[in-house]
């Protein structure tokens, strides 16, 4: 419903406009949380997420993990639906109880009793359907696509295909941005190095968790300090070997902060990872139990050379 | 009520200093041994040098502690992808040659200052270097990160010092003290020494014990006998035979 229409219908109501930034942030949060569970993941602003489970080896595990992660991210049990396509899956999920999964084998049979108002049509088009006596999806599915197209235009044809469970729409995959950052604003300006290290460690933990979900590593690291009255200071470095764990990130960030001499009390701290390396380039602990951490050891030796000079590390061979 | 307060305190410590900062005894995994093939395996009580813990070799100069550590290092180079020496200035690569090490996995970190040694050890322990031989002083504030890093990655951590500071001694899980008992002379040549090795601290298993080792020097190509550098147990005494003494374990 348009805002103007709502105000007309209810003049006493206070209308709160959506916080666009918060919506985007929550969508990114959910997308990041679900990104590695399936090849295609889509999260919509209205709080719906789809996973295309085609090709997923253990779909049951992916669904369980999705439930767990969503619960952690939003703090509420999600409703889950498993169906042949996104439209029927959405309706299945809306019919499920919180924390439960509704599984649909035959989409057409499942959709038939649902009201036609579930179709993604304009209000006028839905009223038209009502006038035509097409009050359920079963009724919409029973008429020919061309017949409804002649009444509602292209959306009418689309609506019939949806009602028949033919799922004409595909999920549009979310692509993670190739950069990320974490930021903390302090209520009181911080002068204590220990406090700054504590916050930096927590931010590195958040970033590492995100990198872990995306299977990515940071090739470039930047730390910025903001001050109350003067221009901020920053330090950055391109690393030879991508950093992905909290220990790796905090190893570098912590070392910088320990020797940093800020000119004033700090009001804001940013840790930015402007360049990420794609997933699959680095598979740490692949040979778990033996020497799977070899990459990490080499990376640690390289970081020692970056910090203290090449001569610090010597390989006799 | 007290339990709730305790749980809250534990949680706040973990939030403040990281999840590894505090571990309940019941949550600790049992120590895993690295069978080194040396007589020390018996002294640890678990059949090998404990992984993920700091083992400390202490004793005056020429007591054989470094020779034994080098033998472990050479063995580590043959078994692991990475064996690292944190060298505070006293490491001579040629002293390792007679133990037939693999050169490929060996890396030496030359730490100009104890601070660097501490940071390098913590970083490599965390990264999962399988064997770390620490021959340098390590500042006290690095011992925590080193311990937790090694614990997570299962790194075998061996420190060689003449007399450990209080913090280092406290951080170690297994300490052995070396004391030379006599020189070994054969045909007028000094060929080695006998060493009494006493376990002074053992957090990984109950027994404290001692044994006697014979450390043979390499004599080069003109050996009188088929000498090879190495450490052998001269007259192994069963741990049970050692007279019980006050426990030094913490």
Which residues constitute the domain of residue A260?
180-312
How much is the pLDDT for B232?
Answer: 55
Domain membership of residue A118 (yes or no) is: no
Q: Give the residue-averaged pLDDT of B222-238.
A: 42
Rounded CA gap, A164 and A149, in Å? 15
User: Is the CB of A293 less than 8 angstroms away from the CB of B93?
Assistant: no
> Which residue of chain A is at minimal alpha-carbon distance from B111?
A312
- Select the residue of A198, A255, A300 nearest B124 (Cβ to Cβ): A300
Which residues constitute the domain of residue B151?
29-239
Number of structural domains, chain B?
1
Q: A216-258, pLDDT tens digit by residue?
A: 788 899 999 999 888 889 999 888 777 888 888 888 898 889 8
- Select the residue of B108, B112, B127 nearest A297 (Cβ to Cβ): B127
Q: Give the residue-averaged pLDDT of B178-191.
A: 87
User: Is the CB of A297 less than 8 angstroms away from the CB of B18?
Assistant: no
Residue A187's beta-bridge partner residues? none
Domain membership of residue A134 (yes or no) is: no
What is the 3-class SS of B38-86, one letter each residue?
CCHHHHHCCCCEECCCEEEEEECCCCCHHHHHHHHHHHHHHHCCCEEEE
Q: B4-45, pLDDT tens digit by residue?
A: 888 888 877 877 776 667 777 666 667 889 998 888 888 888
Tell me which residue of A117, A118, A115 sits closest to A127, measured CA to CA.
A117
Domain membership of residue B7 (yes or no) is: no
Number of structural domains, chain A?
1
Name the least confident of A15-19, A234-238, B146-150.
A15-19
Domain membership of residue A8 (yes or no) is: no
Report chain B residues whose CB lies below 8 A from the CB of A301. 107, 109, 124
CATH number at residue B77: 3.40.50.300
pLDDT band of residue A82 (cuts 50, 70, 90) is: very high
Map residue B206 onto helix, strand or coil. Answer: coil
pLDDT band of residue B156 (cuts 50, 70, 90) is: very high
A108, burial (CB in 10 Å: exposed 0-12, middle 13-18, buried 19+): middle
Report chain B residues whose CB lies below 8 A from the CB of A292. 128
Domain membership of residue A83 (yes or no) is: no
How much is the pLDDT for B122?
Answer: 92
User: Is the CB of B80 less than 8 angstroms away from the CB of A291?
Assistant: yes
Domain membership of residue B222 (yes or no) is: yes
Is the minimum CB–CB distance between A251 and chain B shorter than 8 Å? yes
Q: A164-176, pLDDT tens digit by residue?
A: 988 888 888 777 6
Is the minimum CB–CB distance between A286 and chain B shorter than 8 Å? no
CATH number at residue A276: 3.30.1490.100
Q: Give the residue-averaged pLDDT of A287-313.
A: 74
How much is the pLDDT for B235?
Answer: 43
Domain membership of residue A7 (yes or no) is: no
When comparing pLDDT for A139 and B238, which is higher?
A139
The CA distance from B120 to the nearest CA of chain A, in Å, is 7
How much is the pLDDT for B6?
Answer: 86
User: Is the CB of A293 less than 8 angstroms away from the CB of B80?
Assistant: no
Domain membership of residue B56 (yes or no) is: yes
- Select the residue of A293, A294, A304 nearest B109 (Cβ to Cβ): A304
- Which residue's entry shows tokens 């590894």? B20
The beta strand positions in B63-209, using DSSP E, are 83-87, 106-110, 131-135, 156-161, 174-186, 189-202
Domain membership of residue B107 (yes or no) is: yes
Is the minimum CB–CB distance between A304 and chain B shorter than 8 Å? yes
Is A29 a residue whose pLDDT tops 50? yes
Domain membership of residue B247 (yes or no) is: no
User: Is the CB of A297 less than 8 angstroms away from the CB of B119?
Assistant: no
């Amino acid at each position: 419903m348009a805002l103007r229409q709502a105000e007309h219908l209810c003049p006493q109501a206070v209308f709160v406009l959506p916080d666009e930034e918060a919506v985007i942030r929550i969508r990114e949060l959910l997308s990041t949380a679900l990104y590695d569970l399936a090849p295609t993941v889509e999260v919509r602003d209205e709080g719906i997420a789809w996973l295309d489970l085609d090709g997923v080896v253990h779909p049951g595990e992916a669904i369980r993990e999705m439930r767990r992660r969503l619960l952690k991210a939003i703090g509420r049990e999600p409703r889950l639906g498993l169906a042949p396509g996104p439209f029927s899956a959405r309706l299945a999920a809306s019919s499920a109880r919180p924390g439960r999964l509704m599984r649909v084998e035959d989409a057409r049979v499942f959709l038939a009793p649902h009201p036609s108002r579930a179709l993604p049509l304009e209000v006028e088009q839905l009223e038209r359907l009502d006038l035509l006596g097409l009050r359920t999806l079963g009724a919409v599915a029973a008429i020919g696509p061309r017949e409804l197209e002649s009444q509602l235009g292209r959306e009418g044809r689309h609506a019939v295909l949806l009602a028949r469970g033919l799922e004409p729409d595909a999920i549009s995959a979310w692509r993670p941005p190739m950069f990320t950052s974490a930021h903390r604003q302090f209520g009181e300006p911080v002068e204590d190095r220990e406090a700054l290290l504590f916050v930096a460690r927590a931010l590195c933990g958040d970033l590492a968790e995100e990198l872990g979900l995306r299977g990515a590593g940071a090739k470039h690291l930047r730390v910025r300090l903001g001050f109350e009255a003067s221009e901020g200071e920053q330090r950055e470095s391109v690393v030879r070997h991508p950093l992905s764990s909290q220990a790796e990130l905090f190893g570098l960030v912590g070392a910088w902060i320990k020797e940093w001499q800020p000119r004033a009390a700090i009001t804001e701290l940013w840790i930015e990872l402007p360049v990420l390396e794609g997933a699959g380039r680095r598979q740490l602990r692949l040979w778990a139990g033996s020497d799977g951490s070899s990459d990490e050891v080499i990376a640690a030796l390289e970081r020692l050379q970056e910090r203290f000079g090449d001569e610090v590390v010597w390989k006799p061979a | 009520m007290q339990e709730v307060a305790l749980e809250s305190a534990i949680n706040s410590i973990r939030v403040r200093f990281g999840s590894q900062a505090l571990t309940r005894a019941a949550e600790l995994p049992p120590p895993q041994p690295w069978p080194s093939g040396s007589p020390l395996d018996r002294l640890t009580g678990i059949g090998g040098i404990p992984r993920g813990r700091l083992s400390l070799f202490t004793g005056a100069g020429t007591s054989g502690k470094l020779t034994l550590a080098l033998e472990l290092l050479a063995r580590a180079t043959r078994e692991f992808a990475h064996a690292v020496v944190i060298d505070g200035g006293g490491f001579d690569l040629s002293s390792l040659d007679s133990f037939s090490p693999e050169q490929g996995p060996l890396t030496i970190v030359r730490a100009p200052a104890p601070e660097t040694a501490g940071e390098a050890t913590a970083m490599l322990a965390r990264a999962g270097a399988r064997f770390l031989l620490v021959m340098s002083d390590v500042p006290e504030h690095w011992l925590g990160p080193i311990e937790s890093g090694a614990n997570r990655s299962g790194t075998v951590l061996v420190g060689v010092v003449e007399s450990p500071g209080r913090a280092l001694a406290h951080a170690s899980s297994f300490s052995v003290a070396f004391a030379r008992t006599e020189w070994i002379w054969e045909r007028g040549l000094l060929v080695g020494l006998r060493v009494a090795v006493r376990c002074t601290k053992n957090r990984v298993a109950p027994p404290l014990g001692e044994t006697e080792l014979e450390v043979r020097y390499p004599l080069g190509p003109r050996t009188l006998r088929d000498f090879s550098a190495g450490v052998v147990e001269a007259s192994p005494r069963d741990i049970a035979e050692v007279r019980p003494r006050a426990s030094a374990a913490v």
